Amino acid sequence: MINMNKLAKAISISAFSTVIMLGATQTWAAGSHSGSHGAKASIGEPGKAGKATRTIEVKMFDNYFEPESFAVKEGETIRFVVKNDGEFVHEFGIGTTASHAAHQKEMMMMMEHGALEADKINHKMMKMDMGGGKMMGHSDPNSVLLEPGKSGEVIWKFSKANAIEFACNVPGHYEAGMMGHVRFKGQLGTGS
Amino acid sequence: MINLFSQGRRGCAAAAFSILMMPLGSQAGVYDLTVDNVIIDTGAFQKKGIGYNGASPGPVLRFTEGEDVTINVTNNLDEKTSIHWHGLVLPYQQDGVPTISYDGIKPGETFTYNFPIVQSGTYWFHSHSGFQEPDGAYGAIVIKSKKREPFRYARDYVVQLTDKHPHAGARIMRNLKTMPDYYSRQQQTLGDFFDDADKNGIGATLNDRMAWGDMRMMPADVEDLQGFTPLINGKAVEQNWTGLFKPGERVRLRFINSSAMAYFDIRIPGLKMTVVNADGNNVQPVKVDEFRIAVAETYDVIIQPEEDKAYTIFAASMGRSAYGRATLAPAEDMAADVPELGKRPLLTMADMGMDHGSMAGMDHSKMTGMDDPKMAGMDHSKMAGMGAKPDPFYAPGSGLMPKAENGGKFLSYADLKAQKPLYKFRKATREIELRLTGNMERYIWSINGKKYEDEEEVRLKFGERVRFKFVNETMMTHPMHLHGMWSILDTGAGKWNPIKHTVSIAPGTTVYTETEVDAPGQWAFHCHLSYHAASGMFRRVVVEGSPNLAQLEKTD
Amino acid sequence: MKSQIIAFAWAAMVAMVSLATPASAQTKDLVTYGLQLEELEYRRGDESEDLLVWNGDAFIGTDKLKLRWLGEGEYDTNSTAFETLENRLVLQTPISTFFDVKGGVRLDTPKGPDRWYGTFGVTGLAPQWFEVDADLFVSENGDTSARLDVEYEFLITNRLILTPSAGINVAFSDDLAIGIGTGVNDIEAGMRLSYDLIDRALSPYLGFVYERKLGRTADFAIDEGEDIEGWRAVVGTKIMF
């Protein structure tokens, strides 16, 4: 008798790892931001609200996060309640150093085009179609871009331990230190 | 304390009173400085000079925002001296300029400065007497912020540059007056003529030489004073000042240009720099590969060296006649490759202000946001694949247009935006035009054609917002410094215009700054190139009125 | 006339000394001073006339007014006599961006009769970098004459400099006692190649000089049995403090 659970697990693991490999190559290719979900597989995946095991409150200031780092368990889904308590626009995004670097280039472009200013977001310009299939705009599940005083939410599942950072990719903020590391402590289901 | 209490109720009250009067958490630091004759050793030559606490550069004074400082300065020289706290906002009598703030400090005398620290960041101090500053009298000031800074770093270093010359300052002034190109050793020669003739043809080259000859000006005249040895924190290239770091750390470098005359182009091959502070004020972080630091300016950058190796801080003089070098390394006695100096820049006719069509460019008060056709670089259809935007603070076609050696980004004033504006953004109440003028042949430098001794004061009223229009009618770059009050540089960023104390005006350009006149008394306002200030490019600014008077006027 | 000229010279010196306040940055009236020798050389021609020649000046003053002493001379080492010995004391002030006007007195004390002159002229930088000096002289006897000197510096390298120079003297009346005739007196052309050995302070050079007397002045010289033209090799140094 085939153990359906085990089979399901095996299939999903192999599918998962294939997707991860595809995703990894996507990331190295530094493709378009609004690209495949494969790119995000290495950093986890959008979580489902119901599955969130805990809530982490993230406050954004000029130019730093509070807390400056946090720990998660592999497989855990976390709901981040993000509040911008600073006077400038900030982002809370989950990714790797490489994905953040790519995102910084895009945010630089948004700033040059006037879609993004130091202390406000020009929502109309954000929706502009830049032609060639590229969209401006900031609507990815792994990050939230907030004007001063606003709040937002990111629900994320940290599927696998990896070198994951959370960061603000508004031009200059990452270099000024507005980033932190996600520490992995054990696996979901195990005690602590 | 016990004694006070034992003096009975009166003593008790006095003690309690004095405790209550002390602002919570305030410090009252006392600092001692001596002004001494020192020997400066650059490795290449030794020279008698002036230093503080027995050395040049002097110590790094570390204050805290909110502190009430007392600085005792003892003059051990045979001549009068003074110390000016560059960039600090303080009562005018503490500003340290002889004949404007006070009489100076006589030989043997100890003068006590006393003022509150109302700001944070990187600043510097130097003598304002004679040519003591070029002779070595300078030091650094680091002021800790009372609030958390908008950037993180694990450690910081002061990186203070100067242009040490084998001749004493007074001698240099005399030589420049007698022969203005005394120190110019990069002039165009016969060899240059043949090189240019090869490239452009004899006719074109002759025309070029004659066009300049007609004006009796030299395109090679970028640096008045050459033959200096750049020092970083008092050390020459061979002496190699080294700052240590742990790979992966963020390091804050506080660059201060304490030169008499030299501008430097700074880069760290292999590392990008994020500029977070300019002239002591935080700016919205901007990542660059290279930046130009004018005389008297400061720039703080954050770097994050990841690799376990040495990096070279390379400071090429703007005229490419000399370079300074320091090292950042994980351990002592390490060094990285030192880059080549590069070709000397030549001024162009654009720097002569000949191209009048472009002079209109920088008056942003009249520009209407993004629709302004004069703002280059906003045409997105052409932006893809385009090279770096030309710096709008240089005449279009200028020979001094900065270009990053590695092809990357070179910082422009246009990139500087205040992190936190100090003043509410409002329209200026009046405009004052200051034409930067001079006669290179006589080595006379002036403002509106008049030298300091021709006694034209600038009179300002307390409470007004003055818009200064600097029109550079010379072919030299002048770092203009107003004491006591901030110069808000108009870069077209409106309320985000950066707040500076020293603004460099490139040849053939017009630059606007605005100042909220909020410091009563009288202040110096001058070009910070030492030999320009000494030959007349200097003004006394008198602020009429005071806070109380302004209040009365408001209620009338 | 002579006493008036001497009185003027003293007055000028007193005026300048009173101006001499210590120079320092950010104060008024920067006073500068300097000494330079444009020529300090040994001249040798084929007529075995060995000359020690100098041409220099010293000055003190401000941007508005300078007091200058200019001196030039030619000393014949063989006959131990001064062929030329001229000293001038002038006050100089700017009249335009590149030109100054200067006026004062001149005293000639070579072998032969002495002469006092009043002098007035301009000096400065003409377009295309020609250095120009033009003077008008009036002697104590009322004889007027003029002089024009032009020089150009040609940079072979930043230290190796080739300097062609030319000068012309013209007299508007005879001064027989010192051998001057009306008209063009003489011309001098020189070519010197110098090297800035120590900054601009010491610049040794070598070169040649061509001199020629003309017109009535030449006739007087021939009568005296003197040469009216000659080429000379020169070796010397420029000095500047």
Q: Is the pLDDT of residue A28 over 70?
A: no
Rounded mean pLDDT of chain A?
79
Tokens of C130: 């020609």
Q: How far is C96 from chain B (nearest CA, A)?
A: 10
Q: Which of B245, B243, B250 is nearest to B285 (CA)?
A: B250
DSSP code string of B135-152:
TT-EEEEEEE-SS--SS-
- Domains delineated in chain B: 30-148 (2.60.40.420), 362-377+387-399+421-556 (2.60.40.420)
Tokens of C70: 């200019």
Q: B304 at the A interface (CB within 8 A)?
A: yes
pLDDT over 90, % of chain C: 72
**A75, HSE (Cβ side, Cα atoms, 13 Å):** 6
Q: Is the pLDDT of residue B495 over 70?
A: yes
Chain B residues with beta carbon closer than 8 angstroms to that of C30: 173, 177, 534-536
DSSP code string of B167-208:
S-HHHHHHHHHH-TTTT------HHHHHHHHHHH-HHHHHHH
Q: What is this model's ipTM? A: 0.89
pLDDT over 70, % of chain B: 87
Q: Is the pLDDT of residue A34 over 50?
A: no
Whole-number Å distance between alpha carbons of A180 and A61: 14
**B426, HSE (Cβ side, Cα atoms, 13 Å):** 12
Q: Judge whether B293 and B277 are in contact, CB under 8 Å.
A: no
Q: Mark residue B205 as left, alpha or beta (left: phi above 0; alpha: psi -120 to 50; beta: remaining).
A: alpha
The pTM assigned to this predicted structure is: 0.86
User: How large is the average pLDDT for residues B435-457?
Assistant: 91
Q: Judge whether B240 and B284 are in contact, CB under 8 Å.
A: no
Nearest to B151 among A63, A112, A171 (CB): A63
List A180's β-bridge partners, or say none. A166
- Closest chain B residue to A104 measured between Cα atoms? B287
pLDDT over 90, % of chain A: 43
How many Cβ atoms sit within 10 Å of the Cβ of residue A15?
Answer: 10
pLDDT at B368: 39
**Class of domain A44-187 as given by CATH:** mainly beta
The single-letter code of the amino acid at B51 is G
Q: B459 at the A interface (CB within 8 A)?
A: no
Whole-number Å distance between alpha carbons of B352 and B217: 9
Rg of chain A's alpha carbons, rounded to an integer? 17
Burial class (CB in 10 A: 0-12, 13-18, 19+), C48: exposed
Q: How far is B263 from chain C (nearest CA, A)?
A: 21
Q: How many residues does chain A have?
A: 192
- Is C128 in contact with B188 (Cβ distance < 8 A)? no
Q: Which residues of B71-110 are buried (b: 16+ CB within 10 A; e: fewer)?
A: bebbbebeebbbbbbbbbbbebebbbbbebbbebbeeeee
pLDDT at C30: 87
List C184's β-bridge partners, or say none. C170
pLDDT digits (tens, 9 = 90+) for C79-138: 889 999 999 999 999 999 999 999 999 999 999 899 999 999 999 999 999 999 999 999
Chain A residues with beta carbon closer than 8 angstroms to that of B148: 61, 64
Q: How far is B288 from chain C (nearest CA, A)?
A: 36
User: How large is the average pLDDT for residues A82-95?
Assistant: 94
Whole-number Å distance between alpha carbons of C121 and C61: 18
pLDDT at A17: 55
DSSP code string of B344-390:
PP---GGGGT--GGGGGGG-GGG--GGG-TT-TT--GGGTTT--PPP
Q: Judge whether A157 and A44 are in contact, CB under 8 Å.
A: yes
pLDDT at B175: 95
Backbone angles phi, psi at C22, to 5 degrees: -60, 135
Instruction: Check residues A123 and B484 and name the one with the higher pLDDT.
Output: B484
Tokens of B72: 């005792």
Instruction: Check residues C222 and C13 and name the one with the higher pLDDT.
Output: C222
Domain coordinates of chain A in residue numbers? 44-187
Whole-number Å distance between alpha carbons of B423 and B494: 12
Q: Judge whether B134 and B172 are in contact, CB under 8 Å.
A: yes
Domain coordinates of chain C in residue numbers? 2-21+35-240
Q: Judge whether C129 and C52 are in contact, CB under 8 Å.
A: no
Q: A62 at the B interface (CB within 8 A)?
A: yes
Chain B residues with beta carbon closer than 8 angstroms to that of C36: 178
| Beta-strand runs (E) in A9-110 | 45-46, 54-61, 64-66, 70-74, 76-84, 90-95
Instruction: Check residues B420 and A6 and name the one with the higher pLDDT.
Output: B420
Pick the CATH number of C2-21+35-240 from 2.40.30.10, 2.40.160.40, 3.40.50.300, 3.40.50.10470: 2.40.160.40
Instruction: Check residues B81 and C25 and name the one with the higher pLDDT.
Output: B81
Partners of chain C (3+ Cβ pairs below 8 A): B
Q: B91 at the A interface (CB within 8 A)?
A: no
Q: Which of B414, B434, B440, B396 is nearest to B497 (CA)?
A: B414
pLDDT at B514: 97
Whole-number Å distance between alpha carbons of B99 and B105: 11
Q: Mark residue B383 as left, alpha or beta (left: phi above 0; alpha: psi -120 to 50; beta: remaining).
A: alpha
Tokens of B172: 């240099």
Q: Is the pLDDT of residue A188 over 90?
A: no
Whole-number Å distance between alpha carbons of C169 and C141: 18
